[in-house]
């Protein structure tokens, strides 16, 4: 990521080098979303991204708060009292909420392995919901500390969408909370996050406009500011004679009406485009309207950035439909005299799971929604314009502005040159929420950040090392496992493993006291203001060399037993017991390896980021050990316990299929193609349609990653070359009409992409 601001750089370092929770905010256009992507790309921590609503979660690439934490849609009372429940209002308290915490093993694994929780669009997060999340994390992780020990990154602009609380709910909640925002929650009030504000603005460059926006944001708007803005008032402005302007209004009905009337006035054929939906993608989280109605001449807006190398459009860029067919949309940008074909965009509905081999949290795609990232753009509400950037906009401020709406509306624009006000702005109704303004005064000054960072980094290193050599939970789990053998008869399968379980428990118990002694030594080393990191690293390496062989041998033993019994009849319960035990034991060894590597990174003065901390040896630890065990069992099948076992290849309790680390959508398709899979097989695996897979091929051909000769036969390519001799570079519709069934749309797009590559 190029040219990070000082605040952004510090945010990255606080995330990777400390365990301190952060509130990351910033004015519109300061790059919060871009920074979030960089954090997810570089962090060495197991990260989960959530948001208050389905659409916000989809845009952030995560899941909803309610689905991640299995929370009901109800208010939360942060004690054990439960008020009267009406038909329209429901509440949960601590006692009643606990019943929702009985969850699947894979969901528990995600919550227990979570190290960084990102909450996006935090302006919409209610105080009581955050306290419910905190209570849930403490309960499931069995750690009575804020968020169960998980670092939390809150991201959002509090001067944008506020939390929604019904009056009936607030009558009850106001007895427990001073306000409705996330910072009013008990957990944040008692454990304030570090408040970091991004101030470098990327959207606007006009100093006068930036000054007005800052004054508006900070509730110090002056009469002079209002006078400047009112210079742009033009009640008689004719939008029809000024294409490229979008109207920002305060109500959905008004925006919908403007768009519908403008589309109806166009004397052209109407086309209706629908999404391609594969797998599980609930209607309530559809990112755009299911039906996209367009005509030639319609003013449209892109709602996503162009992911191709061309970068022809951005989120909020407005153009005009130049031509349409059932399979092609051409959009023209008059000011650049540029016409492009609109590509479809893929939205993914995901859930998280823990990778069995690396113990890292990864995404699993449940379903996809593929549609054109376009919407009619004669009008839009201020609410829906958040995150968009406009070159030209007409503001309809005749409705009453809520706190922050004036700021949101004006800050969508790049400069005052693109502004039209359809009526005069008044001083009243422009102020922002006073609680928000008061909270903003707690933001940390840049000159204080280095001090906080150094202090918190030392605390993070100490806690990371301390937790890496703490065997308390492991001793308890092995002890509970060994006790399960006591009531097994001599003929049972488990009885044959009783001695192994006893020996393993004794091994881990012998490690318990030395582990505590080493933690005490660490505490002494870190009790001084500037610990001797070289000496700390030497002690960590010595401790690693002492503990690792024993811990590694325990992992080997469990994996061997799992590999043996997973092919036996009537062993599912035992297999699941061992799998849970192995989960913790392997995590312990990987954590031990990371602790040793952490000190190497610190001594070398390297950044504490994923690429430096997680070495190939750590990443492949379990997988390589498993491969060796399986080879040994396959070469020596006598180690299997019963004569009625089937061939080695038969797994009665196979592990769930795990995903590879996250890649771009084109890379994922390309890797499957390299495995000689067909288009249909790739579509099935990726939960996409074959049409979408072909569009990926076109993208890969355009960037030179794939050759068209690998996809189409030679005679087809020759025929396409002949057909494209007079192609003007824009619309494929005329070619399709001319050649009919000789070529599919997919073939035409593949060849067009090959021309762009040339």
Task: Report yes or no on 586 lying in a domain.
Answer: yes
The count of other CB atoms within 10 Å of the CB of residue 574 is: 21
Q: How confident is the model at residue 571 (pLDDT cuts 50, 70, 90)?
A: confident
- The verdict on 222 and 89 lying in the same domain is no
Render 252-291 in DSSP notation, one character per residue: HHHHHHHHHHHHHHS-S--EEE--EEEE---GGG-SS-S-
Tell me the CATH number at 47. Answer: 3.40.50.300
Instruction: Tell me what pLDDT residue 344 has.
Output: 93
- The verdict on 192 and 241 lying in the same domain is no
Helix, strand or coil for residue 661? coil
Q: How far apart are CA 415 and CA 392, in angstroms?
A: 9
Instruction: Tell me what pLDDT residue 59 has.
Output: 79
Strand partners of residue 605: none
Q: Is residue 710 scored above 60 in pLDDT?
A: yes
Q: Is residue 651 scored above 60 in pLDDT?
A: no
Task: Report yes or no on 699 lying in a domain.
Answer: yes
Q: Is residue 419 scored above 90 in pLDDT?
A: yes
Taking the CA atoms of the chain, what radius of gyration do you get in angstroms? 30
Q: How far apart are CA 452 and CA 745, in angstroms?
A: 58
Instruction: Tell me what pLDDT residue 213 has.
Output: 84
Domain interval for residue 308? 207-431
Task: Report yes or no on 620 lying in a domain.
Answer: yes
Q: How far apart are CA 266 and CA 320, in angstroms?
A: 12
Q: Beta strand 299-302 with 374-376: parallel, antiparallel or unpaired?
A: antiparallel
Could you tell me the maximum CA-CA distance found in the chain, to the nearest angstrom?
93
Helix (H) or strand (E) holding 332: strand 328-333
Angle CA 715–719–722, to nearest 5: 140
Q: Is residue 491 exposed (0-12), middle (13-18) or buried (19+ Cβ within 10 Å)?
A: exposed
Mean pLDDT of the 282-301 span: 92
Mean pLDDT of the 385-394 span: 84
Instruction: Tell me what pLDDT residue 638 has.
Output: 52
Q: How far apart are CA 350 and CA 668, in angstroms?
A: 16
- Considering 202, 219, 241, which residue would you say is the last residue of a domain? 202
pTM equals 0.75
Q: How confident is the model at residue 117 (pLDDT cuts 50, 70, 90)?
A: very high
- The verdict on 670 and 599 lying in the same domain is no
Could you give the number of structural domains in the chain? 4
Instruction: Tell me what pLDDT residue 548 has.
Output: 96
- C-alpha distances in Å from residue 235, one per residue of 231, 238, 418: 12, 9, 15
Q: Is residue 159 scored above 50 in pLDDT?
A: yes
- The verdict on 169 and 254 lying in the same domain is no
- The verdict on 51 and 193 lying in the same domain is yes
Q: How confident is the model at residue 646 (pLDDT cuts 50, 70, 90)?
A: very low
Task: Report yes or no on 646 lying in a domain.
Answer: no
Render 617-642 in DSSP notation, one character per residue: HHHTHHHHHHHHHHHHHHH-GGGSS-
Q: How far apart are CA 497 and CA 257, in angstroms?
A: 73
The count of other CB atoms within 10 Å of the CB of residue 64 is: 19
Task: Report yes or no on 487 lying in a domain.
Answer: yes
Instruction: Tell me what pLDDT residue 486 has.
Output: 84
- The verdict on 613 and 700 lying in the same domain is no
Instruction: Tell me what pLDDT residue 357 has.
Output: 76
Strand partners of residue 50: 63, 119
Mean pLDDT of the 281-302 span: 92
> Tens of pLDDT along 549-563?
999 999 999 999 998
Angle CA 4–36–281, to nearest 5: 150
Task: Report yes or no on 655 lying in a domain.
Answer: no
Q: How confident is the model at residue 362 (pLDDT cuts 50, 70, 90)?
A: confident
Tell me the CATH number at 712. Answer: 1.10.10.1390
| Letter string b/e over residues 679-701, b meaning 16 or more CB atoms within 10 A of that residue's CB | beebbebbbbbebbbbbbbbbbb
Q: How confident is the model at residue 379 (pLDDT cuts 50, 70, 90)?
A: very high
Q: Beta strand 345-354 with 338-341: parallel, antiparallel or unpaired?
A: unpaired
Task: Report yes or no on 440 lying in a domain.
Answer: no
Q: How far apart are CA 56 and CA 53, in angstroms?
A: 5
C-beta of residue 571 within 8 angstroms of C-beta of residue 652 = yes
Q: How confident is the model at residue 325 (pLDDT cuts 50, 70, 90)?
A: very high
- The verdict on 121 and 236 lying in the same domain is no
Instruction: Tell me what pLDDT residue 629 has.
Output: 87
Q: How confident is the model at residue 203 (pLDDT cuts 50, 70, 90)?
A: low
Task: Give the percent of the chain with pLDDT over 90.
Answer: 45
Q: How far apart are CA 597 and CA 536, in angstroms?
A: 13
Helix, strand or coil for residue 28? coil
The count of other CB atoms within 10 Å of the CB of residue 101 is: 16
**Strand order across the beta sheet in which 338-341 lies:** 338-341, 328-333, 318-325, 299-302, 374-376
As a whole number, the mean pLDDT across the chain is 86
For the chain, the residue count is 758
- Nearest CA-CA partner of 447 in 10, 13, 2: 10
Least confident of 9-13, 350-354, 379-383, 427-431: 427-431
Both tokens of 59, joined, read: 């845009």
- The verdict on 238 and 381 lying in the same domain is yes
- The verdict on 197 and 211 lying in the same domain is no
154, 156, 157, 159 alpha-carbon torsion, rounded to 10°: -80
For the four alpha carbons of 616, 619, 620 and 622, in that order, the dihedral sign comes to: positive
Residue 63 backbone dihedrals phi, psi, to 5 degrees:
-130, 170
Q: How far apart are CA 409 and CA 196, in angstroms?
A: 24
- The verdict on 159 and 301 lying in the same domain is no
Helix (H) or strand (E) holding 345: strand 345-354
Instruction: Tell me what pLDDT residue 29 has.
Output: 65
Token match 């280095």: residue? 450
Q: Is residue 515 exposed (0-12), middle (13-18) or buried (19+ Cβ within 10 Å)?
A: buried
E strands in 377-465: 379-381, 393-395, 419-421
Helix (H) or strand (E) holding 381: strand 379-381
- Considering 635, 653, 680, which residue would you say is the last residue of a domain? 635
Instruction: Tell me what pLDDT residue 652 has.
Output: 53
- Considering 635, 656, 687, which residue would you say is the last residue of a domain? 635
Token match 């309610």: residue? 66
Task: Report yes or no on 180 lying in a domain.
Answer: yes
Q: Beta strand 47-51 with 116-119: parallel, antiparallel or unpaired?
A: parallel
Helix (H) or strand (E) holding 449: helix 446-468
Q: How confident is the model at residue 199 (pLDDT cuts 50, 70, 90)?
A: confident
- The verdict on 534 and 628 lying in the same domain is yes
C-beta of residue 276 within 8 angstroms of C-beta of residue 367 = no
> Tens of pLDDT along 652-693?
555 544 434 457 788 889 989 988 888 899 999 999 988 899
Token match 């699993």: residue? 364
Q: How far apart are CA 67 and CA 695, in angstroms?
A: 32
Q: Is residue 506 scored above 90 in pLDDT?
A: yes
Q: How far apart are CA 165 and CA 127, in angstroms?
A: 10
- The verdict on 387 and 465 lying in the same domain is no
Least confident of 163-177, 211-225, 581-595: 211-225
Both tokens of 13, joined, read: 């370092």
Least confident of 12-21, 421-430, 469-478: 421-430
Q: How far apart are CA 744 and CA 742, in angstroms?
A: 7
Cβ neighbours for 247, distance < 8 A, ≥ 6 positions apart: 239, 255, 258, 378, 379, 380, 393, 394, 395, 396, 422
3-state helix, strand, coil in the chain (%, to 5): 50, 15, 35
| Letter string b/e over residues 278-288, b meaning 16 or more CB atoms within 10 A of that residue's CB | beebeeebbbb
Instruction: Tell me what pLDDT residue 647 has.
Output: 43
C-beta of residue 31 within 8 angstroms of C-beta of residue 204 = no
Q: How far apart are CA 361 and CA 662, in angstroms?
A: 11
């Amino acid at each position: 990521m190029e040219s990070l601001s000082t605040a952004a750089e510090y945010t990255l370092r606080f995330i990777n080098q400390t365990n301190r929770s952060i509130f990351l905010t910033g004015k519109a256009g300061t790059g919060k979303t871009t920074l979030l992507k960089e954090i997810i790309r570089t962090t060495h921590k197991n990260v989960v991204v959530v948001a208050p609503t389905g659409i916000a979660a989809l845009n952030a690439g995560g899941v909803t708060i309610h689905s991640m934490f299995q929370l009901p849609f109800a208010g939360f009372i942060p004690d054990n009292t439960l008020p009267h429940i009406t038909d329209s209002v429901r509440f949960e308290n601590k006692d009643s909420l606990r019943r929702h915490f009985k969850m699947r093993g894979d969901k528990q694994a995600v919550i227990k392995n979570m190290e960084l929780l990102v909450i996006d669009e935090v302006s919409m997060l209610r105080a009581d919901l955050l306290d419910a999340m905190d209570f849930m994390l403490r309960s499931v992780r069995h750690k009575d500390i804020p968020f169960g020990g998980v670092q939390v990154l809150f991201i959002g602009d509090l001067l944008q969408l506020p939390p929604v609380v019904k009056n009936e709910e607030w009558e009850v909640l106001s007895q427990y909370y001073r306000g409705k925002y996330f910072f009013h929650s008990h957990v944040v009030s008692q454990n304030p996050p570090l408040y970091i504000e991004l101030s470098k603005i990327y959207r606007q460059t006009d100093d006068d406009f930036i000054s007005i926006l800052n004054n508006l944001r900070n509730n110090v708007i002056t009469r002079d500011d209002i006078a400047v803005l009112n210079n742009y008032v033009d009640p008689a402005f004719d939008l029809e004679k000024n294409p490229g302007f979008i109207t920002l209004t305060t109500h959905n009905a008004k925006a919908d009406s403007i768009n519908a009337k403008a589309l109806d006035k166009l004397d052209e054929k109407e086309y209706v485009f629908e999404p391609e939906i594969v797998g599980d993608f609930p209607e309530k989280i559809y990112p755009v309207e299911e039906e996209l109605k367009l005509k030639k001449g319609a003013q449209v807006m892109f709602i996503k950035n162009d992911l191709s190398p061309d970068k022809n459009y951005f989120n909020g860029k407005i153009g005009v439909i130049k031509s349409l067919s059932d399979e092609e949309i051409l959009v023209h940008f008059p000011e650049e005299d540029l016409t492009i074909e609109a590509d479809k965009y893929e939205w993914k509905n995901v859930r998280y799971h823990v990778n069995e081999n690396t113990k890292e949290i990864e995404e699993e795609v449940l379903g996809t929604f593929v549609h054109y990232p376009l919407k009619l753009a004669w009008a839009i509400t201020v609410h829906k314009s958040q995150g968009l950037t406009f070159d030209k906009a007409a503001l309809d401020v005749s409705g009453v502005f809520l706190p922050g709406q004036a700021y949101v509306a004006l800050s969508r624009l790049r400069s005052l040159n693109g502004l039209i006000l359809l009526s005069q702005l008044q001083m009243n109704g422009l102020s922002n929420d006073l609680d928000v303004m008061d909270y903003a005064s707690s933001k940390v000054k840049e000159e204080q950040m280095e001090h906080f960072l150094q202090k918190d980094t030392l605390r993070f290193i100490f806690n990371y090392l301390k937790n890496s050599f703490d065997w308390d939970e492991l001793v308890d789990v092995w002890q509970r496992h060994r006790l399960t053998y006591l009531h097994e008869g001599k003929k049972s399968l488990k009885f044959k493993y009783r001695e192994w379980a006893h020996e393993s428990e004794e091994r881990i118990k012998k490690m318990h006291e030395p582990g505590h002694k080493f933690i005490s030594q660490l505490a002494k080393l870190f009790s001084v203001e500037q610990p001797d990191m070289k000496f700390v690293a030497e002690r960590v390496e010595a401790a690693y060399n002492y503990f690792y062989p024993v811990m590694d041998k325990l992992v080997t033993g469990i994996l061997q037993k799992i590999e043996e019994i997973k092919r036996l009849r009537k062993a599912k319960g035992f297999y699941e017991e061992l799998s849970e035990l192995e989960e913790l034991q392997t995590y312990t060894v990987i954590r031990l390896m990371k602790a040793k590597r952490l000190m190497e990174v610190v001594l070398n003065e390297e950044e504490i980021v994923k690429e430096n901390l997680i070495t190939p040896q750590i990443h492949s630890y379990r997988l390589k050990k498993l491969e060796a065990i399986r080879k040994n069992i396959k070469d020596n099948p006598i180690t299997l316990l019963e004569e009625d076992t089937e061939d080695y290849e038969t797994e009665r309790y196979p592990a769930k299929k795990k995903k590879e680390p996250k890649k771009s959508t084109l890379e994922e398709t390309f890797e499957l193609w390299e495995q000689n899979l067909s288009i249909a097989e790739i579509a099935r695996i990726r939960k996409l349609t074959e049409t979408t897979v072909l569009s990926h091929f076109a993208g890969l051909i355009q960037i030179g990653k794939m050759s068209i000769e690998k996809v189409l036969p030679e005679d087809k390519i020759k025929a396409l070359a002949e057909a494209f001799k007079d192609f003007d570079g824009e619309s494929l519709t005329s070619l399709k009409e001319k050649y009919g069934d000789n070529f599919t749309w997919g073939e035409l797009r593949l060849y067009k992409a090959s021309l762009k590559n040339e």
